[in-house]
Amino acid sequence: MTDWCAWFRYQLKASADGFEWAFSRIPSAFLEQLPPDPGYLGTWSPSRHVWHVTEYERCLALPAMAAWVEGADFAESDWPDDDEAWAGVRERGSAQLIAQFRGIRQQQIALLDQLGAVEWDEPRETLWGLKPLSMVVTKTFQHTYEHGDTLLRMGLWWEEILKEEAEKSANSGS
């Protein structure tokens, strides 16, 4: 592979599109709710997944890419990824959360234009240890697919699980 920037531009765009698609498949009434069947659908609301991925990229992925452009060492930003931080932003609403995700992702895609001359396989010190830029950007879209998979499961099965639970409850009451 010779055109790293084109490859990663495609991957970052495709994974963002899939992530947004998955989020859009979840009925709006569920976006702030905890899902049924936490073993299969997870323990976070769909909106929290979007916030989590956005903040990961804002605090870790984007600064790591920028460090390569600047030729500087990676300086970790504070990533407030806990219940308290989430409680402080919950009121933003799903439209604002997904718009923030899209904006951060677009910044990363735009940054690729400045990384054409970089040696993508040359390791440097990162949050993840001595790793190349190719790993840092790959981790970004892997993380998006990981949470996107959960959102897709929510969109596909949340209502079905609720129906099954209601049927079980009705049958156990007879």
Question: For every one of its 174 residues, what pLDDT tens digit does the chain have, with 9 covering 90 and above?
Answer: 679 999 999 999 999 999 999 999 999 999 999 999 999 999 999 999 999 999 999 999 999 999 888 876 666 667 889 999 999 998 899 999 999 999 999 999 999 999 998 899 999 888 888 999 999 999 999 999 999 999 999 999 999 999 999 999 999 875
pLDDT at 100: 97
- Distance, first Cα to last Cα, the chain: 63
Helices (H), the chain: 4-24, 38-41, 46-56, 62-70, 83-87, 94-111, 133-172
| For the chain, domain boundaries | 4-172
pLDDT at 78: 79
Instruction: Say if residues 59 and 79 touch (Cβ distance below 8 Å).
Output: yes
| Domain spanning 4-172, CATH architecture | Up-down Bundle (1.20)
> In 3D, which of 43, 156, 50 has the Cα closest to residue 99?
50
d(CA 54, CA 105): 8
Nearest-5° Cα angle at 97, 127 to 105: 50
The CB density around residue 35, as the number of other CB atoms within 10 Å, is: 21
d(CA 18, CA 95): 16
